Chain A
Amino acid sequence: MKHTYASTAQIALFAALTAALGMIPKIDLPLGVPVTPQTLGVMLAGCLIGGRRAFAAMTLFLLAVAMGLPLLSGGRGGLGVFAAPSAGYLLGWPLGALVTGYVLSVLPHATPRSATVSAAAAALIGGLCVVHACGVVGLVLMAKLSWNQALFATLAFVPGDLLKCVLCAMVVRSVARGMPHWYSQGSKA
């Protein structure tokens, strides 16, 4: 029973963290794709609560956005954001979080050092590659760009997201040091 509530609490809290990160102002680049710190929430959820819960947390967050709550950067919300060119990136968040969590689970993460390196790799694969892949598909489908044009457009966000991967790894290191039991039992409590 407690396991189920722990799961619900973690899912809700990481969805809330993603909403809180939306308070930091976004930067709009051409083609309507904003640079937002909220993708850090995707990476952190995958690294800290595991792939399946992170997937559920991001799905919950997007559901709240779809219901009309202005939780995205810049106070955006409602179904309209899923009709924008950046919809692919948004819909890629649950998948990105799932892959981040899965990659971290198969990499060594028993010590703070190994957890840091593995978290950086997991965030890079799930939070960056997977989310951007979904974003490119979105740009092709919604904005009718060619694959090459969409790939070129998404490259503009890679440096910012690489920094987020580093930041995510630093947070994971702090958690591994401050709550050493978390990766052995806490995340699965």
Chain B
Amino acid sequence: MVSGLYDPRHTWLHAIPAGTKLALLSLAGTTVFLTSSPLLLLAVASLSAAIYLSLRSTTRTARRAVLLSAVFSSCIGLFHLWQGNPTVAAASALQLFSATALAVSFTVTTRYDAVLDAVNRGLLPLRALGLKTDRLSLALALMLRFADHFFVQWHKLDESYRLRTGRSPGIRLMAPLCLRMLEASVRISDALAVRIGDPSDECASPRRSTINRNER
């Protein structure tokens, strides 16, 4: 199973509900990208760095992302400096660094299912417009399940090809993998219709009614 960047070791940021953190992060992100004052951005960047550093070892899984962000922010800053725009250099580097540090702090302290709950709550008003928000959890679960499944399929195809030819298959596996995936999508939609289909649709699907009888 794909494991997330969340770290369960408790910090002060873990105690804040996911929805609140998400709202604060959106607000901070918008503010950071709407202002271009280097002094204000320096203050926000210092605050972001303080929040990030206060989480100590929980940020271990995402340190590479922050390091890369710092390197890229510096490169962009140096590029603008070379172009003779010191204000733009400072603003763009600080904006990128602040946004990344805040976003990483959110990610490592918020459980995947808590984010999903917050997103589902945020999408509730869209139900009035006919959007089936309950399908979101199902689609996410299927996606994570089949990401692993495809890795296994890829390895099986890779081994078969190597045994047959003695060479690495490279991108040749893409076509058979896609064919298997499309075939799988048909089987999965059948299985979903059987397992969680609408009972009122039973007459239209004799296979499901047979299976339901067997299950009883």
Instruction: State the A residues within 8 Å of B (CB).
Output: 1-2, 5-17, 19-20, 23, 28, 30-32, 40, 44, 48, 60-61, 63-64, 66-71, 76-85, 141-144, 167, 170-171, 174-175, 178-179, 182, 186, 189
Q: Is the CB of A79 within 8 A of B25?
A: yes
Query: Quick one: which of A8, A141, A174 contacts B189, CB cutoff 8 A?
Result: A8
Interface assignment of B42: CB less than 8 Å from any CB of chain A = no
A71–B107 alpha-carbon span in the complex (Å): 14
A107–B140 alpha-carbon span in the complex (Å): 32
A186–B185 alpha-carbon span in the complex (Å): 10
Sorted nearest first, the 6 A-B pairs with minimum C-beta distance are: A83-B99, A78-B107, A12-B142, A79-B103, A32-B72, A174-B175
Q: Hey, which chain B residues are within 8 Å of A61, CB to CB?
A: 143
Q: Is the CB of A80 within 8 A of B142?
A: no
A interface footprint on B1-15 (CB within 8 Å = 1, 0 otherwise)? 011111000000000
Q: Is the interface of A mostly helix, strand, loop or mixed?
A: helix
Q: Is the interface of B mostly helix, strand, loop or mixed?
A: helix
A60–B142 alpha-carbon span in the complex (Å): 11
**11 CB < 8 A contacts A-B:** A12-B146, A16-B144, A19-B150, A31-B72, A48-B178, A66-B115, A67-B4, A68-B110, A84-B96, A174-B178, A175-B179
Query: Quick one: which of A15, A81, A171 contacts B139, CB cutoff 8 A?
Result: A15
Question: B78: shortest Cβ distance to chain A, in Å?
Answer: 11
A interface footprint on B177-191 (CB within 8 Å = 1, 0 otherwise)? 111011111101110
Question: A108: shortest Cβ distance to chain B, in Å?
Answer: 21
Q: Hey, which chain A residues are within 8 Å of B183, CB to CB?
A: 179
